């Protein structure tokens, strides 16, 4: 790094943070920050994408690291323009020629000189967009889950490996991994506070989510994209789209992924066509290599009791993984609890400016694959093994994405009946 570019980089690091940065001997990672603020582009301008762009700006302010959101991309023009306006009001600098829309908008954004790409489209698109971002040598923040099928998970694993070779940072939107109370609790579990973990429980049970009806002038593709939660090729079903958070915690505690899944589920209440073809509840037992079992339950049905949490039982105690341990000694987390959505961006930015890449691609790809394994067990009524998933050629992306042609909704999966 030349003197001029180093000066420029340091211009972006102000005040107390500059002193702290100097003390840490920050060496910026490949390309990032060499010529001024870190430039950020957002792909997928919905609620979470715009939130993630705001969070990375907040993290930059917190660290005193220059961050400028300069580009947005979305399949729909209204979404991209809305994000441009909202983010510019919040301090971004997105010019009109950096607002991209269409199915190939992500490619145009990746071709710009952004240093960091935020991926927040429906997860069916994540593998190809992540691969493209890594091939273009961008640091990546990608929302969970990172795929909807085994082929996609393996693509993310391979691109994550490539990111390691390129020295790029990859953070995924499993924000619990960045929450101080989860980190401190799970560190203690790993240090033996409850002995060997022999049973685990993971839950995401809540009411229904938003649904967008098809208007008369909407093509099938537009409706499915705008109503993406309800189509497995886009969301992976809710066990993958939402419950992956809790499954990921148990994989983190266990230090590995399960070897098999035995599950069931169905569509009891959300049966109308507006809900596509996904299930509204699942219950799956996963088995880990040491024989420990995880019971996982997820439900999106109004009027039922809610539960979103994790719980593990060890040979010498138990814990909620997030703030308390009852073992030989009782322990409670009493430290700070910063917003984990900002904290994940703090960790991403720190890793880039220090030149110490973090790479969460493999972990989130494994947790995504775990959830897919559970879904497939429920859909088929059969035990599904990790080894089956790693060999499976299941790819749910439709052969052709066209706004002018019909895109039929697949049938609701029926266990015990071959599809």
Ligand X SMILES: NC(=O)c1ccc[n+]([C@@H]2O[C@H](COP(=O)([O-])OP(=O)(O)OC[C@H]3O[C@@H](n4cnc5c(N)ncnc54)[C@H](O)[C@@H]3O)[C@@H](O)[C@H]2O)c1
Q: In what order do the strands lie in the sheet with 330-332?
A: 330-332, 324-326, 317-319, 307-314, 197-206, 293-300, 281-287, 260-266, 384-385
- Kindly tell me which of 89 and 210 has the beta carbon lying closer to ligand X: 210
**Dist. CA 271–CA 358, nearest whole Å:** 42
- Kindly tell me which of 73 and 194 has the beta carbon lying closer to ligand X: 73
- Kindly tell me which of 74 and 366 has the beta carbon lying closer to ligand X: 74
289 near ligand X, rule: CB under 6 A: no
Nearest distance, CB of residue 89 and ligand X, angstroms: 18
User: Which residue shows structure tokens 């000066």?
Assistant: 7
CB 187, CB 252: distance < 8 Å = no
- Kindly tell me which of 29 and 44 has the beta carbon lying closer to ligand X: 44
Applying CB under 6 A, among 4, 27, 103, 304 the residue interacting with ligand X is 103
Instruction: Provide the mask over 122-161, with x wherever binding to ligand X is found by CB under 6 A and - wherever it is not.
Output: xx-x-----------------xx-----------------
Nearest distance, CB of residue 23 and ligand X, angstroms: 32
| Token pair of 291 as six digits | 């024989």
Q: Burial-class residue 76 by CB neighbours within 10 Å (0-12, 13-18, 19+).
A: middle
Applying CB under 6 A, among 41, 99, 106, 375 the residue interacting with ligand X is 106
- Kindly tell me which of 75 and 345 has the beta carbon lying closer to ligand X: 75
Name the β-bridge partners of 100.
73
Residues 42-81 that bind ligand X (CB under 6 A): 43-49, 73-76, 79
| Farthest-apart Cα atoms in the chain, separation | 67
Upstream peptide bond of 313 is cis (omega within 30 degrees of 0):
no
Instruction: Provide the mask over 253-272, with x wherever binding to ligand X is found by CB under 6 A and - wherever it is not.
Output: --------------------
Binding segment toward ligand X, per CB under 6 A, in 41-49, 54-62, 199-207, 251-259:
41-49
**Dist. CA 221–CA 254, nearest whole Å:** 40
Applying CB under 6 A, among 105, 156, 250, 298 the residue interacting with ligand X is 105
241 near ligand X, rule: CB under 6 A: yes
- Kindly tell me which of 49 and 398 has the beta carbon lying closer to ligand X: 49
**Dist. CA 411–CA 419, nearest whole Å:** 9
- Kindly tell me which of 74 and 280 has the beta carbon lying closer to ligand X: 74
297 near ligand X, rule: CB under 6 A: no
Q: In what order do the strands lie in the sheet with 116-119?
A: 99-101, 67-74, 38-43, 116-119, 139-142, 170-172
Nearest distance, CB of residue 401 and ligand X, angstroms: 8
Nearest distance, CB of residue 83 and ligand X, angstroms: 8
Residues 177-196 that bind ligand X (CB under 6 A): none
29 near ligand X, rule: CB under 6 A: no
**Dist. CA 164–CA 358, nearest whole Å:** 9
Total chain residues near ligand X (CB under 6 A): 26
Binding segment toward ligand X, per CB under 6 A, in 19-27, 40-48, 297-305, 328-336:
40-48
Those residues whose C-beta lies under 8 Å from the C-beta of residue 208, and which sit 6 or more positions away, are 270, 280, 300, 301, 302
Binding segment toward ligand X, per CB under 6 A, in 119-127, 298-306, 310-318, 348-356:
119-127
CB 12, CB 33: distance < 8 Å = yes
DSSP code, position 160: H
- Kindly tell me which of 147 and 253 has the beta carbon lying closer to ligand X: 147
Nearest distance, CB of residue 318 and ligand X, angstroms: 26
**Dist. CA 50–CA 89, nearest whole Å:** 12
Those residues whose C-beta lies under 8 Å from the C-beta of residue 401, and which sit 6 or more positions away, are 103, 221, 407
Residues 217-236 that bind ligand X (CB under 6 A): 225
| Token pair of 202 as six digits | 């993971």
Applying CB under 6 A, among 169, 175, 368, 377 the residue interacting with ligand X is 175
* Residue-wise burial string across 295-310, b where 16 or more C-beta atoms lie within 10 A, e elsewhere: bbbbbbeeeeeeeeeb
Nearest distance, CB of residue 290 and ligand X, angstroms: 29
121 near ligand X, rule: CB under 6 A: yes
Query: Using CB under 6 A as the criterion, which residues of the chain lie in contact with ligand X when the complex forms?
Result: 43-49, 73-76, 79, 103, 105-106, 120-123, 125, 143-144, 173, 175, 225, 241
């Amino acid at each position: 790094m030349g003197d001029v570019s180093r000066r420029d980089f340091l211009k972006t690091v102000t005040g107390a943070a500059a002193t702290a940065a100097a003390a840490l001997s920050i060496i910026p990672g490949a390309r990032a920050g060499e010529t001024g603020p870190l430039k950020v582009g957002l792909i997928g301008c919905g609620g979470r994408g715009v939130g993630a762009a705001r969070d990375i700006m907040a993290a930059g302010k917190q660290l005193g690291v220059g961050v400028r959101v300069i580009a947005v991309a979305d399949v729909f023009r209204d979404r991209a323009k809305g994000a441009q306006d909202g983010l510019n009001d919040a301090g971004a600098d997105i010019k009109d020629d950096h607002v991209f829309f269409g199915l190939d908008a992500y490619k145009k954004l990746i071709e710009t000189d952004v240093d960091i790409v935020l991926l927040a489209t429906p997860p069916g698109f994540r593998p190809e967009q992540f691969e493209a971002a890594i091939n273009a040598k961008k640091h990546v923040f990608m929302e969970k889950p990172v795929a909807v099928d085994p082929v996609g998970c393996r693509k993310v694993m391979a691109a994550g490996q490539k990111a390691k070779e390129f020295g790029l940072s990859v953070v995924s939107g499993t924000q619990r991994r960045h929450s101080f109370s989860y980190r401190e609790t799970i560190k203690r579990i790993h240090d033996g506070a409850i002995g060997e973990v022999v049973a685990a429980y993971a839950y995401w049970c809540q009411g229904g989510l938003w649904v967008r009806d098809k208007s008369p002038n909407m093509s099938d593709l537009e409706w499915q994209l705008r109503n993406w939660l309800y189509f497995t090729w886009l969301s992976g079903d809710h066990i993958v789209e939402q419950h992956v958070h809790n499954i990921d915690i148990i994989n983190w505690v266990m230090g590995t992924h399960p070897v098999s899944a035995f599950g069931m589920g169905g569509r009891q209440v959300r049966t109308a066509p507006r809900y596509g073809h996904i299930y509204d509840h699942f219950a799956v037992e996963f088995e880990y290599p040491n024989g420990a079992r995880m019971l996982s339950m997820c439900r999106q049905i109004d009027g039922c009791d809610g539960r979103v949490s994790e719980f593990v039982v060890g040979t010498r105690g138990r814990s909620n993984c997030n703030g308390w341990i009852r073992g030989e000694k009782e322990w409670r987390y009493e430290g700070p609890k910063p917003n984990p959505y900002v904290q994940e961006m703090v960790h991403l930015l720190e890793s880039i400016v220090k030149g110490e890449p973090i790479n969460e691609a493999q972990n989130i790809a494994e947790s995504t694959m775990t959830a897919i394994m559970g879904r497939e067990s429920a859909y088929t009524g059969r035990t599904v093994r990790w080894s089956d998933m790693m060999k499976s050629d299941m790819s749910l992306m439709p052969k052709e994405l066209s706004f002018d042609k019909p895109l039929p909704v697949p049938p609701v999966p029926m266990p015990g009946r071959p599809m």
